[in-house]
Structure 1
Amino acid sequence: MQELLDELSRVLGRGVSVDDVAGRVVAHSAQTDDVDQARVRAILTRRVPADVAAWQEQLGIATATGPVRVPENAALGLQQRVGFPLRHNGVLVGYLWVLGDVPGLDLDERLAVLAAQVPAGERTPVRVVVALEPRVVRTVPAADAVPDLPGYVGVSDPHPPDRTGAAYQQALAAAELARLDPVLPDRVRWSELGAYRLLLGAAPDEVLAGLSEVLLRTLEVYLDCGCEVRAAAERLHLHRTSLYYRLGRIAELTGRDLADGGARLELHLALKLVRLARRP
């Protein structure tokens, strides 16, 4: 692979590199004058930084069937580049990156050879941790302790290593909300954001998973009634003892404390989003 990359770099007059789908730097050509700080960070750590991976994912590299032109992003220290998906036997295994623009060359044969040489990467889940001031981004195995970073810090849910971009977006949102909402701790996990997760696009079905139609109806009526047990029991035609039993089951299945205002808001919003999604 190294010889092919060096040859390709000479032909194109550009720095080139190959990353696997987990974001690990597999190989790179000898550095040229056009190398940028984003690529330097990746080479030094042997992994594509999570913020760079997020930017590339937003531009569709993970689902592309052909070259993707990535514009300059000064905030990330990233110059213009072109990404070529590498597929072996129809399976995405990595990406060839060319710094700058690419002249009109037929690279299909070289891409096929490169794809066949990309090693299968490990699939250990990872978390991304983001601190805001100063901006620090860390990618760590999900089972490891969260790094002790200063200031407002956000921590993502565990993600497959090829989804560090999505994990970065979770961690960044958590850190920003920790700074904005005084109720939240300075260090907060995505899973602890409650209703904010739904407002940021998380699936409401995940919040309500495990609840039967009967329990969903019970929960919605209870919340619609302002958590007044008497009013909810009357609307549901239940004895209050039966309602308390159902509410206990709901709390057990969702892992939410129904006495907590934030949990109530999250559940109520999830119910309404599910109902909204049923519109024709």
Structure 2
Amino acid sequence: MCDDRGYGLQADLQRIVDTVAARVGRPALIEDRSQRVVVYSEHDGPMDDVRRDSILRRHTAAEVVAWFRDIGIMTARAPVRTPACPDLELLPRVCVPVRHRDLLLGFVWFIDADGTMSDADIAAAVEAAADLALALYRTNLIGELASQREAEAARTLLSDSADVRDEVVRSLLSDGVVTSDGQSTALVAQPVPAPGHVLDETARIALEQALVATRRWVGAREALHLVRHDHGVLLLRDARLTGRGSPPATATQLSSALATITGRLAPVQRVVVGLGQPRHRLADTVHSYTEALNAARVGVRLPALGPVVTWANLGIYRLLSQLDDHQLDVAGVHPGLARMLRDDTHQVLLETLEVYLDLAGNAHAAAETLRLHRTTLYYRLQRVEQLAGTDLKDGNERLCLHLALKLHRLARPARPVG
């Protein structure tokens, strides 16, 4: 919020954190309950990379958030001394939870590198936290109402009702949440869990941090974001991006932010960003979202497509991605090829066939791509005809074979990368 209330509350919080720091005799930092940095005092004592990054980025790294939560700060009713963690380059700290009527509002943090923060110092911090609770409660209330409203608006923009979507856009425009209506695009960030893992809360926190960072990059009023169960969404107003890029550039920026934030998270192997086609109105972005979601899920199955997958460049996968898993039946398209696919000894023949068909049956180009003598290429293609019971001179057979190969790629489980 950028009204007088927001400025007044921020000034109150700054006054309180400066008072706490002076009373305790060491720098203090206040976070909200999501461990986003709210305000901090001057820093003239020991500082680790975690504190420095938190101040610069305005949030705490996801792996650090997870580490603190494992210690139990979310349920603490009293101050907690947290130990050092060399792996995270984290110095010892004292964490004072801030609660209002037992509602967790945030935390006051002090670095205690040498363990000299006394019980009296901690008691003074707890006493000051009582004043902080009301100010932080008001700040959280305003901030939560704004963020919840934006999240609900993003959800509604992905609903089926066109009338409801139109009403939400009118509300967003009148409240100044977005600058204007017009050409809009959806991006989907789809994390890929490492083998044997599922997405956890830490990964979702990292996902939201990347979405927020990208919103700042394009301008907060040019986008809305939403974290769903297994993916994140960015609805981007891209008619004017204040000279900072185009939708593909934004997709690259989001991919970069995701790689930076999730790179050290064990449950996440990689993240694929899907980009839908632009729509003329924000209310129609739901259709771009469907495209972006399908593009991202194709990218999960086909790592060779890279970290950013655009719906416009998917070719035949635009059609295949809209099929249910039970419809991805290779045998239904070409039974002979399905028999070959069940036998791993035919892998080389199938790869040769796919390259040949990808190059529109150009034998010279296929031989060069595969680095084969033309005679070897023809021999392999003849073996495919014999084993699959097909005729590569028949245009319909070529179409069925090519489609079956692409179906097989999309239907098989995603393979680990790296």
TM-score if structure 2 supplies the norm length?
0.35
Determine which of 241, 251, 254 is the counterpart of 1:147: 254
- 2:131 — aligned with what? 113
SS of equivalent to 2:21: helix
Whole-Å Cα distance in 2 between the matches of residues 169 and 58 of structure 1?
A: 20
SS of equivalent to 2:132: helix
- 1:84-134 CA-to-partner distances (Å, cap 9, x unmatched) read 110012211101111114311224321111111111133457x8979xxxx
C-alpha distance 154-169 of structure 1, shift in aligned 2 (>3 A): closer
Determine which of 119, 134, 144 is the counterpart of 1:104: 119
- 1:223-277 CA-to-partner distances (Å, cap 9, x unmatched) read xxxxxxxxxxxxxxxxxxxxxxxxxxxxxxxxxxxxx6869xxxxxxxxxxxxxx
Q: Is the 8 A contact 2:191 2:271 kept in 1?
A: no
More helix by share: 2
Q: Is the 8 A contact 2:191 2:270 kept in 1?
A: no
Whole-Å Cα distance in 2 between the matches of residues 184 and 89 of structure 1?
A: 51
Unaligned runs of 5+ in 2: 1-12, 152-188, 193-205, 212-224, 226-231, 235-250, 273-300, 308-410
Q: Is the 8 A contact 2:28 2:110 kept in 1?
A: yes
Whole-Å Cα distance in 1 between the matches of residues 48 and 191 of structure 2?
A: 23
Structure-to-structure mapping, 1:48-59, within 5 angstroms: 48-59=60-71
Whole-Å Cα distance in 2 between the matches of residues 95 and 43 of structure 1?
A: 15
Whole-Å Cα distance in 1 between the matches of residues 44 and 14 of structure 2?
A: 15
Whole-Å Cα distance in 2 between the matches of residues 73 and 139 of structure 1?
A: 24
Shift of 1:184: 8.0
- 2:159 — aligned with what? none
SS of equivalent to 1:147: helix
C-alpha distance 19-47 of structure 1, shift in aligned 2 (>3 A): same
Query: Does residue 43 of the first structure (1) align with residue 55 of the second (2)?
Result: yes
SS of equivalent to 2:254: coil
Whole-Å Cα distance in 2 between the matches of residues 16 and 37 of structure 1?
A: 15
Whole-Å Cα distance in 2 between the matches of residues 76 and 46 of structure 1?
A: 18
Q: Structure 1 stretches (4+) deviating beyond 3 angstroms?
A: 121-125, 127-130, 152-155, 168-172, 183-188, 260-263
Please say which of residues 92-101 and 72-81 is displaced more in the overlay: 72-81
Query: Does residue 9 of the first structure (1) align with residue 99 of the second (2)?
Result: no
SS of equivalent to 1:149: helix
Shift of 1:37: 1.3
Q: Is the 8 A contact 2:49 2:90 kept in 1?
A: yes
Query: Does residue 79 of the first structure (1) align with residue 91 of the second (2)?
Result: yes
Q: Is the 8 A contact 1:54 1:169 kept in 2?
A: no
C-alpha distance 103-41 of structure 1, shift in aligned 2 (>3 A): same
Shift of 1:38: 0.7
SS of equivalent to 1:85: strand
SS of equivalent to 1:175: strand
Q: How many positions carry a matched residue from both structures?
A: 173
Determine which of 82, 92, 95 is the counterpart of 2:104: 92
Shift of 1:47: 1.3
C-alpha distance 129-23 of structure 1, shift in aligned 2 (>3 A): farther
Shift of 1:12: 2.2
TM-score if structure 1 supplies the norm length?
0.50
- 1:159-197 CA-to-partner distances (Å, cap 9, x unmatched) read xxxxxxxxx69953122899xxxx884879xxxxxxxxx
Shift of 1:153: 5.4
Unaligned runs of 5+ in 1: 131-136, 156-167, 189-259, 264-280
- 1:201 — aligned with what? none
C-alpha distance 78-148 of structure 1, shift in aligned 2 (>3 A): same
Identity across the alignment (%): 28
The letter for the 2-side match of 1:143 is V
C-alpha distance 86-71 of structure 1, shift in aligned 2 (>3 A): same
Whole-Å Cα distance in 1 between the matches of residues 65 and 263 of structure 2?
A: 10
Q: Is the 8 A contact 1:12 1:103 kept in 2?
A: no
The letter for the 2-side match of 1:172 is A
Q: Is the 8 A contact 1:86 1:111 kept in 2?
A: yes
Determine which of 63, 67, 79 is the counterpart of 2:79: 67
